[in-house]
Amino acid sequence: MTTSSNARISALKIKLFSDGADLDGILAMYRNPWISGFTTNPTLMRKAGISNYEAFGRRLLAAVPDRPISLEVFADDLEGMEVQARKIATWGSNVNVKIPVTNTKSVFTGPLISRLSADGVELNVTAIMTLDQVKAVADALHPDTAAIISVFAGRIADTGVDPEPLMRSAVAAIAHRPKAELLWASPREVLNVFQAEATGTHIITATPDILNKLSLTGKDLTEYSLETVKMFHNDATAAGFSI
């Protein structure tokens, strides 16, 4: 990593979280002082081959005791979500319990969010994609309890919509909840880190693949062009191509 990339990354005000469920990968990112926290979800955990949810969650929280870690409920009814949320909250002092903004039947989880937040459970409300959802979640949160509001900006962009205006509006929409932080979820490229920072978003969570590409920040583009040409040439030579 160059001095210029180090300086630019160090100057970021946005918090960098690492998203994943591979314990070795998480521990590798934990050694990086730029990483302020971690997120995961049931889909990532399934892909990582995890079969015992609680054992993995407890092991992860024990291995990373001093940075926030988001672990998600997976029940689909609000009563079941609450039981799971309260259990997960006991696993470690640094856990954020992830609650989806709705269940699979499109029922808003606001009443559950209100109960848990009022009881001091620090939440990460997830799968948000509209400003109305941001506002409803912010209103449901208790003003004295820290929380994360996760907007899936990358998925919004996948639909052809620029998420930056929404994220700027979301920052303003949660201003009456000073202990709540807005999170840019599902980024697709390093550029999204700087876009998120420009909107005033507090946190971005990204896969290690994206976070590791931060080392390219500020790289000379003429040099990068030459490296790309060399890569194509070397691969063609290694493949033994001829015309």
C-alpha separations of 142 from 112, 132, 177 in Å: 12, 18, 8
Instruction: Report the chain's terminal Cα–Cα distance, integer Å.
Output: 39
Please list the residues that pair with 204 across neighbouring strands.
16, 184
CB atoms within 10 A of CB 103: 17
Q: Report whether 37 contacts 68 (CB < 8 A).
A: yes
| Residue of 13, 47, 87, 98 with catalytic role | 98
Residue 87 known to be catalytic: no
Instruction: Report the relative pairing of strands 35-39 and 69-72 from DSSP bridges.
Output: parallel
Three-state SS letters, 67-114: CCEEEECCCCCHHHHHHHHHHHHCCCCCEEEEEECECCCCCECHHHHH
| Helices 78-89, 110-118: crossing angle, 10 deg rounding | 30
C-alpha separations of 143 from 115, 228, 232 in Å: 13, 51, 55
Please list the residues that pair with 39 across neighbouring strands.
19, 70
Query: Residue 154 corresponds to which tokens in the numbers above?
Result: 């990358």
CB atoms within 10 A of CB 210: 20
Give the active site residues. Answer: 98
